Chains A and B, each alone.
Chain A
């Protein structure tokens, strides 16, 4: 099973309720171990919808999504939760829990795998705390561990979110426009961090991104979506000016 794709999408179609157009049409994709995939496309091209199909936040209208060979579209909520514990995800607006500290936010990354009552009262073993601190060190925020997250800068917030995702010990790392609200320098540093983590933990990574230079610099494979369809799937070097015009016209 390990030699096959980690994630496979087959003829996935998504149509949102009340819409008369598909957000995603006949979408096929295989993601293999070690790949660092960047997804290009205009706003509304279906990038977010696609990424949300991967971890079951969005159920496809038609088609199948396979994770490690199992069709997760057949799973119930409990099964999907288990799938999600294997996928770390970060977001454009960081989606941290306000009023909690860096450490507390990072610890929530373990919630999918622990007893609910322990989660509720906030009981964490020494080992779990150590792992959280390790994740915080790896995103270089150890001096801020007790700071409330709303007092951090945008780049720091995204690093907290990355540490939270890391604590899930994921196989897959997903990013839905994680640098769209950050300045170019910070965006580059975040991508750099994601790449280091990607290599260290041997992840499959898929990031939606607007910035073509970042995609070309870090990706091993580039996808481009337009109107819910996959129009490019290939190496970053082959993303030519002509292609960019097609993607973003």
Chain B
């Protein structure tokens, strides 16, 4: 047993205990699948899909795509500079570092739906509060992820830029950004994909887009329309994932 220590045994026992209690708490019980047939009945109501609404739902999907793109991209635009102030090695002072780290984790800890509900009271229904909610949450997430990339960046180029006499901020941008760029992009595209799913949830609180349609169709039991919505959502997520990996390939 060359790879294992006694410590590992305790970790495994601990995990098993955690799994047991989590199952108890969530009423996790596979024998409940006896009512499996209900699900088949339900799903059979989804077909044939309601093709009539397809063109209109495609437009709704484009709204969702726009929400997700704007929310995640503007999130990235704000997160990028903030990440430099929230990284230990590039921050001006320990105070600023701590302040921005805590601010980012605050933004991250508030779910988009909560931001959405709060913004709703000021802005009213529609996609705009949804986009803002996605931006805020993504500043928190991308800011943290990128600041960790910055902290892990190779110090060699940073030293070289210092020794040509470049100013700190210029030296930081040039010695760190090119190194971390591919990873920044892959984080970004992942967050774009997540933002699509988030904007669906925000649709449930009146954020518009295909999410709101999905919610409405569910409420009126229009399952053949629900099927179209789900189908379009799947295509959208796959497309973003595909584009993301293509762009990343080009960049590396």
Q: Which residues of A does B touch, CB under 8 Å?
A: 55, 57, 77, 81-85, 87, 89, 91, 93-100, 108-113, 116, 119-120, 161, 164-165, 168
Contacts and interface: CB of A to CB of B under 8 A. Distances in A.
Contacts of B162: 57, 84
Contacts of B165: 81-85, 111-113, 168
A112 B163 CA distance: 9
B167 interface: yes
A98 B116 CA distance: 41
A119 B164 CA distance: 13
A84 B157 CA distance: 15
B170 A55 contact: no
Closest 6 CB pairs of A and B: A112-B165, A85-B165, A95-B160, A111-B166, A95-B156, A84-B165
Contacts of B179: 97-99
A116 B165 CA distance: 12
A222 to B, nearest CB: 24
B166 A112 contact: yes
B29 to A, nearest CB: 52
Contacts of A91: 156, 159-160
A91 B158 CA distance: 12
Given A83-B165, A111-B164, A111-B171, 17 more contacts: A77-B168, A81-B167, A84-B162, A89-B160, A95-B156, A96-B160, A97-B160, A97-B174, A98-B157, A111-B161, A111-B166, A116-B169, A116-B170, A119-B174, A120-B170, A164-B160, A164-B164
Interface in B161-209: 161-171, 173-175, 178-179, 181
Nearest to B181: A99
Interface of A is mostly: helix
Interface string B138-160: 00000000000000000011011
Contacts of A120: 170, 173
Nearest to A164: B164
A108 B166 CA distance: 9
Contacts of A82: 165
Contact of A98 (B167, B171, B178): B178
A77 B167 CA distance: 9
A108 B161 CA distance: 8
B163 A108 contact: no
Contact of A108 (B156, B164, B168): B164
19 contacts: A57-B159, A57-B163, A81-B167, A83-B165, A89-B160, A91-B160, A93-B156, A96-B160, A97-B179, A108-B164, A108-B166, A111-B166, A111-B170, A111-B171, A111-B174, A112-B166, A116-B167, A116-B170, A119-B170
